[in-house]
Amino acid sequence: MGFKISHSNNQKKVKPFYGPVNDDDGTDGSLTLISPPDDAGYASWLIQHPSALNAFDSITKEAKWKKVVVFLDYDGTLSPIVEDPDKAFMSAEMRMAVREVAKYFPTSIVSGRSREKVKEFVQLSNVYYAGSHGLDILAPPRADKKVNEGAFQPAKLYLPAIQEISIELEDTIRDIQGARLEDNKFCISVHYRQVQPKDRETLKERVKSLVENRLEFRLTEGKMVLEVRPSIEWNKGDALNYLLDVLGFSNAKDVLPLYIGDDRTDEDAFKVIAGRREGFPIIVSSIPRDTIAWYSLRDPSEKRVFEWMDIHHFRCFFVVVEVVLYPLSFVNDSRLPNHFRM
């Protein structure tokens, strides 16, 4: 494929923590808060990151006659953020929307979760799965092959060390009430959403102290979670590039990647799309946040994202008359103009 993977032993041992100092300010420890989450601040932020719902004309104009490739984060995008990470279920309506989108556009679920876990949540066989922030990628089974090709795992050699540090982390946080360890195979997540505010800094310091002496790992922070990841220069942006390459689109000029995500880790993918100068990086956020994304969706709930995906699915084929969408059964209807049909 031509991908070069470097091991960042020369970088700082522990990356700085991102996000606000106060975990209770409404940001869930995610991206930097630009201004108070009021309507005036959000309206100002929308000037730089217009609503994808309100930008359909420009988006569909750019997408016309192009190959759209869809990338979706899971938590906070396809499912709500919940107290118990094991209960972040996506709705049947969302699953149906993703299934339909994947019929017409190559679609990938890119998550910090383990690939097996996110596949268990999504339950679709026609999408690509990129787990552990893109460190574990598997294509959907192909009809022309009896056996699916193996997963792409650029950090496979780190697995023994990951299993070892997982045990150490378990011992480190054992006495902190509410702390929870999640094994995502190539990424160990330490959730502290249910930890008392007074104990959160203690948890962070303990995890940081453990990781900073292990050059083979780096520490990042997401929404109420610390993530211990291999010191390999690979992220969701690299996963996006890899998947475009697998699909044969790496050098194509008529490809528009569409990426919807709500977390800091999605910024790496947004950066890749911004570098291409073509595509749709879309952040899901109800507050003003520092982001590279060009577009936004205000409501991070399933319903809002489903609404956008469902409408976009049809509008990419220009099957919209004012605000009324043709039902799926009409997409190939002979009454439609030729360029409206699939």
C-beta neighbour count of 85 within 10 angstroms: 18
Torsion of CA 217, 150, 138, 146, to 10 degrees: -170
Torsion of CA 261, 100, 186, 27, to 10 degrees: 20
Say if residues 318 and 60 touch (Cβ distance below 8 Å).
Answer: yes
Q: Which residues contact 11 (CB under 8 A, 6 or more apart)?
A: 218, 231
**Residue 24 is a catalytic residue:** no
* Catalytic member of 73, 262, 266, 268: 73
Which stretches of 111-224 are assigned E, i.e. beta strand?
128-131, 136-138, 180-183, 188-191, 217-222
Tell me the C-alpha distance between 204 and 187, whole Å. 17
Torsion of CA 34, 35, 39, 44, to 10 degrees: -60
Please provide residue 200's backbone torsions phi and psi, each rounded to the nearest 5 degrees: -70, -40
As given in the structure block, the two tokens for residue 129 are 């799965």
Q: Catalytic residue positions?
A: 73
